[in-house]
Amino acid sequence: MTSARGEMENRRRLGAIQVKAVNEQANLEQQRKKKKLIMASVCVNDALTDDELRCVLSKLDRDKDKEVFSLVCKRWLYLQSTDRKKLAARAGPHLLGRLAFRFTQIVELDFSQSVSRSFYPGVTDSDLTVIAEGFRCLRVLNLHNCKGITDTGLASIGRCLSLLQFLDVSYCRKLSDKGLSSVAEGCHDLRTLHLAGCRLITNESLKSLSERCRDLEALGLQGCTNITDSGLADLVKGCRKIKSLDINKCSNIGDAGVTSVAKACAYSLKTLKLLDCYKVGNESISSLAQFCKNLETLIIGGCRDISDESIMLLAHSCRDSLKNLRMDWCLNISDSSLTCILKQCKNLDALDIGCCEEVTDNAFRDLGSGDVMGLKVLKVSNCPRITVKGIGKVLEKCKSLEYLDVRSLPHVTEVRCSEAGLEFPKCCKVNFSGSLTEPDVLLGYSSLP
């Protein structure tokens, strides 16, 4: 009897436990359903603040995803519009006005045109009036190759865009000193200015920049043939922070102008482009060697009066900083200066000595066992005295070579290199015939920072 009663008591307890478990499971299920109902009744727009939604938007890396974000509702469209900082567009005055109303925080506008659209005037003066009045927060404005712009349009920029720091009006050929003076007068915080191909610009523009834009760091004057040495001297009286100066094809620039820049911008100057400035000679290079110890990029292609003595001074002075050197068609350059460059400039990435006819294999043979170069780009095209032996010596020392230009070398062909057993680095592109696209690091036409 006792055992039977104990068994019944155990069954009763077990049953009670099972009932309790079922009840708890039912309660949990009810709680889940209640939570689902609550979540279903709460709108995300009610749950998240504007700042929280902007935080979500900031996590989207692709522009396409940001556009999808704006399609959810009007609130999300507004947040995406007011958060956007950059805009590239082609539009007339009416649409530009609407864009300015929608995108109130734009700081960068790109209306630049490619060469393939050179027949189209692009942005006009009336467009610039709307842009200047509607996008007051602009810091970057790119109008490259917008040929319809005149001084009237630049006057609008100077009048309204006081925060502007970057302006590219390259190849806007109708611009003159009057328009640039308006920009300088109104945009005192200007840091980068591109004026390549603006052939009406004279020394007066440089004087205006010197007086009003003293924080200027990068200036592009390629092909502005009315610029002279006195203009550069006036420029650096006020603009002493210049890091990058492009005066390629400014045929009236000579030693006096370059020396003025070297002295005034000694600590800041890092990039100087003097392509085809045929009046530039040894005095300029010696001044750079004396004053500009931080020079990283120097382009002196076509400066035929430059010789070994000044280049050797430069190699010694800028041995820790120089990274890119282009001196093709410097016909007085020989083995001694080239060997000096290769031995001393340990951080050199790119070198162009094309058409330097005095250079021979000896420039490379004289390198010692410790002279392991980090060169990535080497151009020796049209140097008739360089042979396969010289190229072999280069390959021994340049293990990081990525591009080698050996076009028009009568003693260096693909067949002869193969017969000599030369092994090029796996990542190296060797240009024997001109069929490869050249890297732009030494072309001299790459844009300023």
Rounded to the nearest 10°, the torsion over CA 197, 200, 204, 205 is -40
From CA 436, how far away is CA 263, in angstroms rounded?
A: 40
Q: Which pLDDT score, from 0 to 100, does residue 421 have?
A: 95
**Angstrom distance (rounded) from CA 366 to CA 395:** 14
Nearest 5°: CA angle at 360, between 356 and 365? 135
User: Which tokens sit at 258?
Assistant: 């370059």
180 touches 154 (CB < 8 A): yes
- Closest Cα partner for 122 from 133, 114, 130, 113? 113
Compute the distance between CA of residue 323 and CA of residue 90 in angstroms, rounded to an integer: 38
Amino acid at 242: I
Which alpha helices (H) appear in 227-266, and where do they start and end? Answer: 229-238, 255-264
CB 347 within 8 A of CB 320: yes
Q: What is the pLDDT of residue 366?
A: 76
- What DSSP element (H or E) covers 417? helix 414-419
Where does residue 21 rank: exposed (0-12), middle (13-18), buried (19+ CB within 10 A)? exposed
CA dist., res. 262 & res. 258, Å (int): 6
For residues 328 and 137, what is the distance between their CA atoms, to the nearest angstrom?
44
Give the model's pLDDT for residue 365. Answer: 84
Q: What is the DSSP string of 334-361?
A: -HHHHHHHHHH-TT--EEE-TT-TT--T
Tokens of 125: 């003066």
Q: Tell me the average confidence (pLDDT) per consecutive run of 10 residues in the chain, 449 residues long.
A: 64 67 72 61 69 73 76 71 76 81 87 76 88 94 94 97 97 96 97 97 98 98 97 98 98 98 98 97 98 97 96 97 96 95 93 96 81 86 96 91 94 94 92 78 50
Handedness of CA 184, 190, 192, 194 (dihedral sign): negative
At a CB cut-off of 8 Å and minimum separation 6, what does 298 contact?
271, 272, 274, 288, 314, 322, 324, 325, 326
Amino acid at 382: N
